[in-house]
Chains A and B, each alone.
Chain A
Amino acid sequence: MRTLLVKHIKPVCFVLCCLPLAYLATLFLMDELGANPIEWVTRFSGTWALRMLLIALMATPLQRGLGAVWPFRIRRMLGLFGFFYVTVHLSSYIVLDQFFDWYEIYYDLVERPFIMAGMVAFVLLIPLAITSTKKMMRRLGKRWKQLHRSVYLIAALGILHYFLLIKLGWFEPAIYLLVYTLLMIMRMPLTKMLSQVVRREPTPDSS
Chain B
Amino acid sequence: MLIKSRSTHDCLESEVTDHSLYLQRRRFMEVSARGLGLAAIAPSLLLSACSDAATDDGRDQASSQPAQAADELTPYKDVTSYNNFYEFGLGKSDPAKYAADFKVKPWSVKVEGAVEKAGTFDLEDLLKGVQQEERIYRLRCVEAWSMVIPWYGFALSDLINKLKPTSAAKYVQFETLYDPAQMPGQKGRALDWPYVEGLRLDEAMHPLAFMATGLYGKDLLGQNGAPFRLVVPWKYGFKSIKSIVVIRFTETEPATSWNLANPREYGFYANVNPKVNHPRWSQRKERRIGEFRKRPTLAFNGYGDQVAGLYQGMDLKRYF
Chain A contacts with B in 99-115, Cβ cutoff 8 A: 99, 101, 104, 107-108, 111-114
Whether A35 pairs with B280 at a CB distance below 8 angstroms is no
A112-B261 contact in complex given A36-B287, A168-B191, C-beta closer than 8 Å? no
Whether B145 pairs with A104 at a CB distance below 8 angstroms is no
Interface Cβ pair total, 8 Å cutoff: 56
Whether B90 pairs with A35 at a CB distance below 8 angstroms is no
- Cα distance A104–B284 in the bound complex, in angstroms: 9
Whether A34 pairs with B93 at a CB distance below 8 angstroms is yes
Interface size on A, residues (CB 8 A): 22
Chain A contacts with B in 24-54, Cβ cutoff 8 A: 34-36, 38-39
Chain B contacts with A in 285-320, Cβ cutoff 8 A: 285, 287, 289-290, 292-294
Chain B contacts with A in 65-112, Cβ cutoff 8 A: 77-78, 81-82, 86, 90, 92-93
* B282 interfacial by beta-carbon distance below 8 Å: yes
Residues of A within 8 A of B261 (CB): 168
Chain B contacts with A in 243-285, Cβ cutoff 8 A: 261, 277, 279-282, 284-285
Whether B280 pairs with A165 at a CB distance below 8 angstroms is yes
- Cα distance A114–B281 in the bound complex, in angstroms: 10
Residues of B within 8 A of A114 (CB): 279-280
Whether B289 pairs with A36 at a CB distance below 8 angstroms is yes
Whether B294 pairs with A34 at a CB distance below 8 angstroms is no
With most chain B CB atoms within 10 A of its CB, the pick from A38, A98, A167, A168 is A167
**Nearest chain B residue, comparing its CB with the CB of A107:** B282
- Cα distance A113–B279 in the bound complex, in angstroms: 7
Whether A108 pairs with B282 at a CB distance below 8 angstroms is yes
Residues of A within 8 A of B81 (CB): 34-35
* B190 interfacial by beta-carbon distance below 8 Å: yes
Residues of A within 8 A of B292 (CB): 38, 96, 99
Whether A168 pairs with B145 at a CB distance below 8 angstroms is no
CB distance from B82 to the nearest CB of A (A): 3
User: Interface of chain A, helix or strand or loop or mixed?
Assistant: helix
CB distance from A26 to the nearest CB of B (A): 17
CB distance from B106 to the nearest CB of A (A): 32
- Cα distance A99–B92 in the bound complex, in angstroms: 23
CB distance from A30 to the nearest CB of B (A): 15
* A141 interfacial by beta-carbon distance below 8 Å: no
Residues of A within 8 A of B277 (CB): 111
CB distance from A126 to the nearest CB of B (A): 26
* A169 interfacial by beta-carbon distance below 8 Å: yes
Residues of A within 8 A of B290 (CB): 35
Residues of B within 8 A of A34 (CB): 81-82, 92-93
CB distance from A38 to the nearest CB of B (A): 7
Residues of A within 8 A of B86 (CB): 168
- Cα distance A98–B144 in the bound complex, in angstroms: 12
**Nearest chain A residue, comparing its CB with the CB of B277:** A111
Whether A35 pairs with B279 at a CB distance below 8 angstroms is no
**Nearest chain A residue, comparing its CB with the CB of B75:** A35
Whether A39 pairs with B280 at a CB distance below 8 angstroms is no
Residues of B within 8 A of A99 (CB): 292-294
**Nearest chain A residue, comparing its CB with the CB of B189:** A169
- Cα distance A33–B190 in the bound complex, in angstroms: 25
Residues of B within 8 A of A167 (CB): 143, 280
- Cα distance A96–B292 in the bound complex, in angstroms: 8
**Nearest chain B residue, comparing its CB with the CB of A171:** B188
Whether A36 pairs with B145 at a CB distance below 8 angstroms is yes
A111-B90 contact in complex given A99-B294, A169-B190, C-beta closer than 8 Å? no
Contact with B along A161-193 (1 / 0, CB 8 A): 000110111000000000000000000000000
* Chain B residues with a Cβ under 8 A of chain A: 77-78, 81-82, 86, 90, 92-93, 143, 145, 190-191, 261, 277, 279-282, 284-285, 287, 289-290, 292-294
For the complex of A and B, 3 pairs with smallest distance between CB atoms: A35-B82, A35-B78, A35-B289
Q: What are 8 A-B pairs at a CB distance below 8 A?
A: A34-B92, A35-B92, A35-B290, A96-B292, A112-B280, A113-B279, A165-B280, A169-B190
* Chain A residues with a Cβ under 8 A of chain B: 34-36, 38-39, 96-99, 101, 104, 107-108, 111-114, 164-165, 167-169
